[in-house]
């Protein structure tokens, strides 16, 4: 089954503070993407986090996802779209999640790869995208400490992109109710050099649009929700930001 292409929010990172105050009506009165997450303050060579699906996804139209990645619309050579991400996605008809990664090379359509299917609410995975040591512009996707992709060439990416950890919702309909989701991100780290040198995320830029909620108990953890979720799987969180 073909999946709709995801678009990352990097193009709006420079306006992160403004995004935090975006009108709630954006999520349900207009079609498109909404987000709740964090971005690193500077470029990095990788980003990783422990991601948990809280409760079950309730997708009225389109999809929901929680992911970590780098790149975005207009971030590739000559202003072309280019990115790599790995995460959990949810679609209409099921509360469960798929584990996926997605790659967009400059000038090419996004490619969606399913790693695991039909994962129950509460599933946790350690996810990362990391530039390969000694191979500038080559990236791999990692799940629970193991690579799940071959090296992927993304021209112009070396030392160029911020690390992002975010939830997203996408819909084509203005009339349907908001999609419901809940994702928890813990131990968010960024890589200071290709192949590793991981450090805890700090001084992150917040991303929030629409009615999505962003709760931050620490600099390197957050919970992103929309709608009602089972909070028994998400203890110790603070108030929405």
Q: What are the pLDDT digits (tens) for 63-101?
A: 999 999 999 999 999 999 999 999 999 998 899 999 999
The pLDDT score that the predictor gives to residue 140 is 98
The pLDDT score that the predictor gives to residue 6 is 43
Cα(45)–Cα(47) distance, rounded to whole angstroms?
A: 7
Spatial neighbors of 208 by CB under 8 A, at least 6 apart, are 19, 20, 22, 35, 36, 37, 214, 241
How much of the chain, in percent, has pLDDT values that exceed 90?
Answer: 65
Spatial neighbors of 235 by CB under 8 A, at least 6 apart, are none
User: Residue 111 corresponds to which tokens in the numbers above?
Assistant: 């490619």
- Structural contact between residues 127 and 86, judged by C-beta atoms closer than 8 angstroms: yes
Domains and CATH numbers, the chain: 15-230 (2.60.120)
Spatial neighbors of 187 by CB under 8 A, at least 6 apart, are 49, 50, 200, 220, 221
The CA R_g of the chain, rounded to the nearest whole Å, is 16
Cα 194–158–216 angle (5° rounding)?
Answer: 70
Total-model pTM? 0.86
Q: Which stretches of the chain score pLDDT less than 70?
A: 1-31, 174-177, 228-241
The pLDDT score that the predictor gives to residue 29 is 47
The pLDDT score that the predictor gives to residue 142 is 98
């Amino acid at each position: 089954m073909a999946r709709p292409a995801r678009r990352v929010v990097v193009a709006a990172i420079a306006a992160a503070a403004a995004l935090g105050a975006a009108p709630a009506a954006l999520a349900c009165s207009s079609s498109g993407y909404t987000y709740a997450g964090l971005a690193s303050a500077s470029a990095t060579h990788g980003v990783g986090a422990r991601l948990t699906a809280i409760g079950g996804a309730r997708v009225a139209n389109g999809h929901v996802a929680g992911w970590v990645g780098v790149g975005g619309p207009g971030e590739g050579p000559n202003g072309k779209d280019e990115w790599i991400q790995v995460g959990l996605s949810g679609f209409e008809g099921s509360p469960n999640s798929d584990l996926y990664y997605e790659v967009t090379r400059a000038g090419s359509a996004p490619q969606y790869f399913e790693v695991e299917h039909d994962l129950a609410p509460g599933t946790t995975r350690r996810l990362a995208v990391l530039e390969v040591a000694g191979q500038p512009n080559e990236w791999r996707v990692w799940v629970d400490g193991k690579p799940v992709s071959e090296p992927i060439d993304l021209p112009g990416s070396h030392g160029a992109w911020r690390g992002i950890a975010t939830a997203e919702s996408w819909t084509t309909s203005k009339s349907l109710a908001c999609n419901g989701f809940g994702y928890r991100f813990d131990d968010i780290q960024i890589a200071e050099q290709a192949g590793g040198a991981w450090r805890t995320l700090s001084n992150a830029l917040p991303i929030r649009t629409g009615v999505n909620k962003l709760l931050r108990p620490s600099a390197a953890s957050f919970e992103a929700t929309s709608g009602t979720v089972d909070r028994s799987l998400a203890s110790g969180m603070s108030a929405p930001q």
